[in-house]
Amino acid sequence: MELDRRDLLTALAATGAGSTAGCSSTRRQATDGGDVSDHDADTLVALAEVLYPSSVSNVGEFVREYSLERVAADAEYAAGVAEAVGSLDEYVSEWHDVPYAELPTVERGEILRHMTVDTADPDPDGVARERIRYYLVNELLYAFYTTPTGAGLVGLENPPGHPGGTRSYRRGPDS
Amino acid sequence: MNGGVDRTPSGRVDACVVGAGPAGALVAAELASAGYDVVVLDAGPRFDPADREARMERHLRPGDREPVWDMGGERDAYSATGAREYPLNAARVKGVGGSTLHWQGMVMRLHEQDFRLDSELGVATDWPLSYDDLRPYYAAAEEELSVAGASDNPFAPPRETPHPLPAFPPSYSDSLFAEACEELGIATHSVPNARNSEPTDEGGACVGYGTCKPVCPSGAKYDATRHVARAEADGARVVDRAPVQRLVHDDAGDRVTAAVYATPDGTEHRQEAREFVVAAGGVETPRLLLLSKSERYPDGLANSSGLVGRYFTDHLFAGVGGTLDEPTRQKHVGFNTTESHQFYDRSDGARGAIKLEFLNYAGPAPADVATGAETFGDDLLAEIRGAYGNRIAVGGLVEQYPRAENRVRLDPSRTDAHGNPVPDVVWSLDRRTRATIERANEIQRSILEEMGTDVDWTVGPENTGPAFHHMGTTRMGTDPDESVVAPTLRTHDLANLSVVGSSAFVTGGAMNPTLTIAALALKASDHVAERL
pLDDT digits (tens, 9 = 90+) for B4-57: 899 999 999 999 999 999 999 999 999 999 999 999 999 999 999 999 998 998
Query: A155 vs B327: CB contact, 8 Å cut-off?
Result: yes
Q: Which whole number is the average pLDDT over B380-402?
A: 97
The pLDDT of residue A28: 41
Three-class DSSP category at B106? strand
Strand B354-358 to strand B338-340: parallel, antiparallel, or no bridges (unpaired)?
antiparallel
In a domain? residue A171 = no
Q: Report d(CA A116, CA A88) in Å as an integer.
A: 12
CA of B448 vs chain A CAs: smallest distance (Å): 19
Three-class DSSP category at A36? coil
The pLDDT of residue B137: 98
ipTM above 0.90, yes or no: yes
Chain B residues whose beta carbon lies within 8 Å of the beta carbon of residue A140: none
CA of A70 vs chain B CAs: smallest distance (Å): 12
CA separation, residue A73 to residues A35, B112, B233 (Å): 10, 53, 33
In a domain? residue A37 = yes
Nearest CB to A50; choose among B62, B377, B384: B377
Q: Estimate to the nearest angstrom the gap between the alpha carbon of B194 and the chain centroid.
A: 12
Query: B377 vs A52: CB contact, 8 Å cut-off?
Result: yes
DSSP string, B402-435: --TTSEEEEEEEEE-TTSPEEEEEE----HHHHH
Strand B13-18 to strand B354-358: parallel, antiparallel, or no bridges (unpaired)?
unpaired
Q: For each successive 10 residues of chain A (175 residues), what is the average pLDDT?
A: 64 50 38 74 95 93 78 80 96 95 96 97 95 95 91 95 95 88
- Average pLDDT value for chain B: 97
pLDDT digits (tens, 9 = 90+) for B434-478: 999 999 999 999 999 999 999 999 999 999 999 999 999 999 999
Contact by Cβ (8 Å): B446, B458: no
Three state DSSP letters for B154-184: CCCCCCCCCCCEECCCCCHHHHHHHHHHHHH
Residues 6+ apart with CB under 8 A from B531: B275, B496
Query: B367 vs A23: CB contact, 8 Å cut-off?
Result: no
In a domain? residue A108 = yes
**Percentage of chain B modeled with pLDDT above 70:** 99
> Which residue is closest to A19 within chain B, CA to CA?
B50
Contact by Cβ (8 Å): B302, B484: yes
Q: Which whole number is the average pLDDT over B78-90?
A: 95
Contacts across the A-B interface (CB distance below 8 Å)? 195
Query: A161 vs B209: CB contact, 8 Å cut-off?
Result: yes
pLDDT digits (tens, 9 = 90+) for B338-352: 999 999 999 999 999
> Which residue is closest to A155 within chain B, CA to CA?
B389
CA of A103 vs chain B CAs: smallest distance (Å): 17
Nearest CA-CA partner of B217 in B339, B377, B83, B101: B101
Nearest CA-CA partner of B256 in B306, B309, B292, B295: B292
Nearest CA-CA partner of A171 in B333, B326, B172: B172
Contact by Cβ (8 Å): B419, B374: no
Query: B366 vs A23: CB contact, 8 Å cut-off?
Result: no
Chain A residues whose beta carbon lies within 8 Å of the beta carbon of residue B218: 163
> Which residue is closest to A164 within chain B, CA to CA?
B208
Query: A170 vs B326: CB contact, 8 Å cut-off?
Result: no
Q: Which domains does chain B have, with CATH numbers?
A: 6-147+217-314+402-427+468-532 (3.50.50.60), 164-191+316-398+430-465 (3.30.410)
The pLDDT of residue B523: 98
- List strand residue ranges (DSSP E) for B279-318, in order: 316-317
Chain A residues whose beta carbon lies within 8 Å of the beta carbon of residue B332: 156-158, 164, 168-169
In a domain? residue A170 = no
> Which residue is closest to A158 within chain B, CA to CA?
B332
> Which residue is closest to A108 within chain B, CA to CA?
B376
On the question of pLDDT at B270 being above 50, the answer is yes
In a domain? residue A174 = no
Contact by Cβ (8 Å): A133, A123: yes
In a domain? residue A173 = no
The pLDDT of residue B77: 97
> Which residue is closest to B169 within chain A, CA to CA?
A170
On the question of pLDDT at B514 being above 80, the answer is yes
In a domain? residue A172 = no
Q: Report d(CA B395, CA B444) in Å as an integer.
A: 8
On the question of pLDDT at B2 being above 60, the answer is no
CA of A106 vs chain B CAs: smallest distance (Å): 11
Strand B316-317 to strand B38-41: parallel, antiparallel, or no bridges (unpaired)?
unpaired
Chain A residues whose beta carbon lies within 8 Å of the beta carbon of residue B211: 160-161
> Which residue is closest to B197 within chain A, CA to CA?
A166
In a domain? residue A12 = yes
Chain B residues whose beta carbon lies within 8 Å of the beta carbon of residue A142: 57, 60-61, 367, 370-371
The total of other beta-carbon atoms located within 10 Å of residue B4's CB is 5
The pLDDT of residue A76: 84
Contact by Cβ (8 Å): A16, A152: no
On the question of pLDDT at B61 being above 80, the answer is yes
CA of B67 vs chain A CAs: smallest distance (Å): 9
DSSP string, B345-361: S-SSTTS--EEEEE-SS
Chain A residues whose beta carbon lies within 8 Å of the beta carbon of residue B66: 23, 25-27
Chain A residues whose beta carbon lies within 8 Å of the beta carbon of residue B212: none
The pLDDT of residue B74: 94
The pLDDT of residue A20: 31
What's the structural domain count of chain A? 1
Q: Which whole number is the average pLDDT over B203-224?
A: 97
Nearest CA-CA partner of B333 in B477, B218, B231, B419: B218
**Percentage of chain B modeled with pLDDT above 90:** 97
Query: A122 vs B371: CB contact, 8 Å cut-off?
Result: yes
The domain in which residue A11 lies consists of 5-163
